Amino acid sequence: MPEGDTLFLTATRLREALAGRALTVTDLRVPRLATVDLTGRQVTEVFPRGKHLLIRIEDGWTLHTHLRMEGRWQVYRAGERWRGGPDWQVRAVLGNADHTAVGYRLPVLELLRTEDEPQAVGHLGPDLLGPDWDPDEALRRLRAQPDRPVGDALLDQRVMAGIGNVYRCELCFLRGVTPWTPVGEVARPERLVDLAHRALDANKLRHGHITTGDTRPGRQHWVYGRAGRPCLRCGTPVAVAERTDPSQERVTYWCPACQRGPSPAPQQPTRSTRPGPPRR
């Protein structure tokens, strides 16, 4: 699932292409919105909220999307050939005289009154890349369940909005704790909150979720995606474990030497536990 910095970059590109211009094309390809026509209205703002994307349109409308695992927005120049997937995967098209934004495989696509946006995103915690980022409130929410594994807390968008599995693994490595360590046993949790903010902020206008400072392929992450390969800090083989919860399955990477705390028995890397290529 895309991380918050990916949504920030997507929103930036959509804003540059659409904001301040009247729509000449609107095509929402889901049954409940198939008859909606927003042409002639101006896009007033595009912004992310955690992993959600909100496109505000004049007359008090907001197009709300969430990419989840497969969704993607792609911007093309007017008249340019679309290349993001077959036509049957297109869920939304918004265009003006200069650009066309195409939403592929969008699992969440709904049109709301702007005043009703809290129904879609009001449950989220402080947005790590939002203008109203509040580290004190994020820390309060993180500490609210001291027995909870820190990796679970980091993924909980009600605690902080924007962290996905890449940053979950990388932040735990950088703080020297395993993702299964109870929040109450993490020393100086305010440093974890600050690190999360700085990591996403550093990557919000580029691809790759780079946490090592090294942009070379294979060296962008400390542990994520490096199952069985040497830890970039100490050389110990990076461990991997699958984790299943009621809604989804995730893969966890950690260094048994650099990170202290509880952990399951590491698994041998297999084809099913290796991540695919970085999302672009």
Catalytic residue among 15, 29, 229, 250: 250
Does 269 participate in catalysis according to the annotation?
no
Catalytic residue among 3, 49, 72, 179: 3
Catalytic residue among 2, 126, 149, 179: 2
Rounded Cα distance, 246 and 244, in Å: 7
Does 2 participate in catalysis according to the annotation?
yes
Does 189 participate in catalysis according to the annotation?
no
Catalytic residue among 49, 51, 56, 175: 51
Does 204 participate in catalysis according to the annotation?
no
Tell me which residues are annotated as active site: 2-3, 51, 250
